[in-house]
């Protein structure tokens, strides 16, 4: 894992200095996803990585000066591809969730508030000793996980993008770190990344999925009860690998940005919030343009750092 110290102006260390380089930090075997959050309540940023070859996560507590304590590993399911941080049981402490592609499930590790974590929560007792036997099942080959409140009960839920079954799985939270059975919603061809946000302005969270072989994104508008309407697809460019949502044009509506691996570019889709077409595609942005670099920074922050807090948005009475 590499750490690049910021200069405060959007740049990172001096690339013309032959002695300047990213700081390497050792973690587990085969890290593929990273999230940043304060895991132990000391106001310092800490790091967690999902390690696909080790089938575990590494937790590195920050010292506040850019250095980190030695990593501590916690076992999860098989070949985790994505990690997110959120308070999943309502105790105000950050918890972890991973999407495990080779065991077709997610692992939930509840935090103790001091930077340590409990063994993965099991969907059914008794709890086995092998973390891989504590699953919450998803679709086939989950490669991305996001956290949001999808049913308006102020409890965080999960959604995964499932590469082999061309769908997303939605698992509604019970508020204690456990989750209900997965519901499946079809998306495009070979989904690789999922993001959540209210893209249509109705206060209910929606899903946006990057489909690697479909060269598009699927937008699933949420009904506010944990279910979603049929997906609408929007072409973005060749091989989208990652997706993030944010207000890119300061109009108060969430927009979509994708990293397109086969085109070496990022694409932004500006949101017009139409009743039948909530998103409209903009032209792809070259990766090395100023806007492209800004959008890439957004993707890096969102794709790696799946961090969610408790829901704060008011909900309509149901």
Nearest to 158 by CA among 140, 128, 136, 188: 136
| pLDDT on residue 310 | 40
- Tell me the Cα Rg of the chain: 19
**What totals of helices (H) and strands (E) does the chain contain, helices first?**
1, 23
Terminal Cα distance for the chain, rounded = 46
Q: In what order do the strands lie in the sheet with 206-211?
A: 191-197, 206-211, 216-220, 232-235
Q: What residues contact 317, with CB distance under 8 A and at least 6 apart?
A: none
> Where does residue 141 rank: exposed (0-12), middle (13-18), buried (19+ CB within 10 A)?
buried
| 108 and 121 Cβ atoms separated by less than 8 Å | yes
Summarised one tens digit per residue, pLDDT across range 80-118 is 999 999 999 999 999 999 999 999 999 999 999 999 999
| 255 and 273 Cβ atoms separated by less than 8 Å | no
Q: What residues contact 294, with CB distance under 8 A and at least 6 apart?
A: none
- Angle, CA of 94, 96 and 101, to the nearest 5°: 165
Averaged over 17-28, what is the pLDDT?
A: 79
| pLDDT on residue 171 | 97
Is a pLDDT exceeding 70 seen at residue 13? yes
| pLDDT on residue 267 | 86
Is a pLDDT exceeding 50 seen at residue 125? yes
Nearest to 287 by CA among 216, 235, 214, 238: 238
| pLDDT on residue 258 | 95
Summarised one tens digit per residue, pLDDT across range 29-81 is 999 999 999 999 999 999 999 999 999 999 999 999 999 999 999 999 999 99
Confidence of residue 122 (pLDDT cuts 50, 70, 90): confident
Averaged over 173-183, what is the pLDDT?
A: 94
| 106 and 79 Cβ atoms separated by less than 8 Å | no
Q: What residues contact 117, with CB distance under 8 A and at least 6 apart?
A: 59, 74, 95, 96, 109, 110, 111
List the alpha helices (DSSP H) in the chain.
290-304
Q: What residues contact 82, with CB distance under 8 A and at least 6 apart?
A: 32, 33, 50, 98, 99, 142, 143, 144, 145, 306
What's the predicted TM-score (pTM) here? 0.84
Is a pLDDT exceeding 90 seen at residue 296? no
| pLDDT on residue 210 | 97
| pLDDT on residue 277 | 36
Q: What residues contact 67, with CB distance under 8 A and at least 6 apart?
A: none
Averaged over 279-300, what is the pLDDT?
A: 50
Nearest to 171 by CA among 148, 144, 143, 141: 148
């Amino acid at each position: 894992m590499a750490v690049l110290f910021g200069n405060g102006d959007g740049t990172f260390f001096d690339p013309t200095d032959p002695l300047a380089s990213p700081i390497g930090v050792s973690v587990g075997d085969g890290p593929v996803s990273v999230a940043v959050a304060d895991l132990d309540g000391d106001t310092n940023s800490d790091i967690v990585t999902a390690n696909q070859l080790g089938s575990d996560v590494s937790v590195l507590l920050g010292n506040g000066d850019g250095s980190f304590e030695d990593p501590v590993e916690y076992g999860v399911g098989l070949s985790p591809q994505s990690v997110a941080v959120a308070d999943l049981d309502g105790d105000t402490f950050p918890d972890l969730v991973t999407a495990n592609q080779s065991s077709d499930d997610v692992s939930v590790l509840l935090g103790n508030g001091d930077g340590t974590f409990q063994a993965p929560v099991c969907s059914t007792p008794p709890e086995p000793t092998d973390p891989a036997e504590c699953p919450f099942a998803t679709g086939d080959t989950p490669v991305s996980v996001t956290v949001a409140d999808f049913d308006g009960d102020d409890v965080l839920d999960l959604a995964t993008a499932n590469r082999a079954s061309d769908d997303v799985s939605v698992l509604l939270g019970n508020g204690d770190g456990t989750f209900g059975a997965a519901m499946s919603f079809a998306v495009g061809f070979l989904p690789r990344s999922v993001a959540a946000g209210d893209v249509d302005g109705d206060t209910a969270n929606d899903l946006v999925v990057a489909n690697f072989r479909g060269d598009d994104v699927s937008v699933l508008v949420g009904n506010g009860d944990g279910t979603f309407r049929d997906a609408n697809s929007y072409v973005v460019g060749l091989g989208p690998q990652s997706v993030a949502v944010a207000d890119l044009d300061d109009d108060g509506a969430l927009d979509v940005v994708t990293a397109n691996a086969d085109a070496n570019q990022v694409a932004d889709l500006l949101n017009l919030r139409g009743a039948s077409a909530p998103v409209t595609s903009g032209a792809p942005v070259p990766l090395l343009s100023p806007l492209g670099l800004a959008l890439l920074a957004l993707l890096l922050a969102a794709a790696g750092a799946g961090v969610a807090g408790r829901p704060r948005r008011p909900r309509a009475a149901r």
